[in-house]
Amino acid sequence: MQQEKWRLVRDEIANDISSGALQAGDRLPVEPELVEKYGAGRHSVRRAVADLARAGLLSVEQGRGTFVETGPLLEYAIGKRTRLRRNLQGQGVDLKRELLDAQMVPARQRVAKALNLVEGAVVNESRRMTLGNGLPINVGTSYHDTDRFPDFTTRMDVLGSVTEAYKTYGITDYLRGETTLHSRMARAEEAKILKQHPQSPVMVVRAVDTLLDGTPISFKQVIWSAVRVKFTIALED
């Protein structure tokens, strides 16, 4: 019976969340209070909380506590024209993007191949985190040819939109040329940035955007929180 106690604690906390007794964003009581409330040992409480965090119902933040996750999964459509803001703001999401770092680097083999450059050519590498309704939903790195797109990071930060930044280079429309997706467990740094349980999964999306004639203009790798976002493949634009 003691072996299954953690499951009972988990189910009771999950019921409190589904019934509304625990609201999105609420902080869970500290561990001794949970032990007393559910009549369980510390090990059972910790295991129950960890299981709910892996399932995306709770978020464990180091030094702050454990919180009820907010809202249902966001929907993100990948199609002929994939646009972050159009995807998420259309769902009423308060969208923010934060630049983590940017630098000029020699293109590695994968990046050079995606952009039709020679390996070692200088590219602009920028790393950003995206927050939806205050929660991190992805962290990604994008690459642009510095000869074609000088000062891209600066223009992107000033205008707040990839689409608007492209317009300053005379590009009024662009397409998604290629997308690959696979899932895996979050790495320690990713879990910390995304504020999710280290044993929760992430979705790795690699994408190439192109001009209308198929010329590649960007390559990106984005790590999405799989407990906060779900993907659909759009057959139409």
* Residue 188 in tokens: 């320690």
Q: How much is the average pLDDT of 204-220?
A: 98
Residue carrying the six token digits 């803001």: 85
Q: Which of 42, 28, 210, 195 is nearest to 115 (CA)?
A: 210
Partners of 60 in the beta sheet? 66
What is the rounded distance in angstroms from the CA atom of residue 234 to the CA atom of residue 237?
Answer: 7
What is the band of 165 on the pLDDT scale with cuts at 50, 70, 90? very high
The identity of residue 184, as a single letter, is R
What is the band of 62 on the pLDDT scale with cuts at 50, 70, 90? confident
What CA–CA distances, in Å, run from 226 to 27, 78, 159, 197, 206? 22, 15, 28, 11, 15
Q: Which of 144, 147, 157, 86 is nearest to 112 (CA)?
A: 144
Task: Pick the more confident residue, 211 or 234.
Answer: 211
- Chain segment 115-152, per-residue pLDDT in tens: 999 999 999 999 999 999 888 999 999 999 999 999 99
What percent of the chain has a predicted confidence (pLDDT) above 70?
97
What is the rounded distance in angstroms from the CA atom of residue 167 to the CA atom of residue 226?
Answer: 32
Whether pLDDT at 21 is above 50: yes
Whether pLDDT at 237 is above 70: no
* Confidence (pLDDT) at 98: 96
CB atoms within 10 A of CB 225: 27
What is the rounded distance in angstroms from the CA atom of residue 72 to the CA atom of residue 146?
Answer: 39
Looking at 123-224, list the stretches that DSSP marks H as alpha helix, in order from N- to C-terminal side: 152-159, 162-167, 188-194
